[in-house]
Amino acid sequence: MKAFMPTGDFERAVILRDVPEPDPAPDCAVVEVEAYSVNRGETFQLEKPATGWRPGKDVAGTVIRSAADGSGPEVGARVVAHPPAAGWAERVAVQTSQLAKLPEGVDPIVAAALPLAGLSALRLLRAAGQLAGRRVLMTGASGGVGHYFTELAAAGGAEVTAVTASPERGARLEELGADHIVHDVADAEGPFDVVLESVGGDSLQQALCKLRPRGTLIWFGQASRSAPTIDFFRFWEGPTSGTIRHFDYTDSDVPDGRDLATLVSYVSKGRLHPEIGLVANWLETPDVLNTLRTRGVRGNAVLTRTGV
């Protein structure tokens, strides 16, 4: 079968090659891939790819071989899945605990935009706790996680301030329920009960100073690719006390499949609207990767094997 393999070349990061068919474990189904989403984090991994690794964590398609242990959906079921890798291919083996059936009316292109960003947003909501009536600040809100989190948190009664460099993307976040849009974290009017920080560098320090006493800052990324720094003497510019915690979306007691089922249910009911900024044929994957690197896509980029 055909699959994209990393090249280690920055300008042409992947190339289509012949690879062996999936050899599934007993608890894995084989999915014929119809669409997959490209995450910005994968563009970073492709700069120094690990030996034997193939990209692809967000896929949607059809089960063509059910799991030998009897778990998971039957052959012919439409699914969304979150394999650990190797999804930029014609077929991929996925543990049944990492996939969910798609309801009627949810397109594979839409579903493919859900897994990593959607799981991150849903689990950030859990980490933040009860948000009804609370003031929330989110940095780096322009990406997929920011869009999902903003819509879900606003629907849950939070007052959301989103930080985004782009007025256009800020307008979209307002449509999704953000109460306030700022283009620099320094301009956010605190204090905030919860701060979600994903930029890194000095952004974390600035956001920390916006926290209310005994509030919570959750650090979940460094999109700037600069490590966050904290000067605890500056802590007193804001709260007198507070909690700082790290968030990793993979650290969850809920299986991916169950959370994916929740996400596709929200989409089916019109409660969640994936932000898809680009849809292209999968043969265009190398070019799409370059577009993502230059932040040329608002929301998710989805590649489809069924044409556009």
pLDDT value of residue 237: 76
In the prediction, which pLDDT does 125 show? Answer: 96
State how far the Cα of 243 lies from the Cα of 272, in Å rounded to an integer.
Answer: 29
Q: Which two tokens stand for residue 154?
A: 């606003």
Q: What's the CATH number for 119-246?
A: 3.40.50.720
Each domain of the chain, given as residue ranges in start order, spans: 2-114+274-304, 119-246
Question: What are 217-257's pLDDT values in tens digits?
Answer: 999 877 667 777 777 777 667 777 889 999 999 999 999 99
Q: 2-114+274-304: which CATH topology? A: Quinone Oxidoreductase; Chain A, domain 1 (3.90.180)
Q: How far is it, in rounded angstroms, from Cα 293 to Cα 287?
A: 10
Longest dimension (CA), the chain: 59
Q: What angle do CA 299, 276, 103 make, to 5 degrees?
A: 125
pLDDT at position 166 is 83
User: Which residues of the chain carry a pLDDT beneath 50?
Assistant: 308
Task: Please report the pLDDT score of residue 164 as a whole number.
Answer: 92
Question: What integer pLDDT is reported at residue 53 of this predicted model?
Answer: 95
Q: Which residues have a Cβ under 8 Å from the Cβ of 290 and sit 6 or more positions away?
A: 11
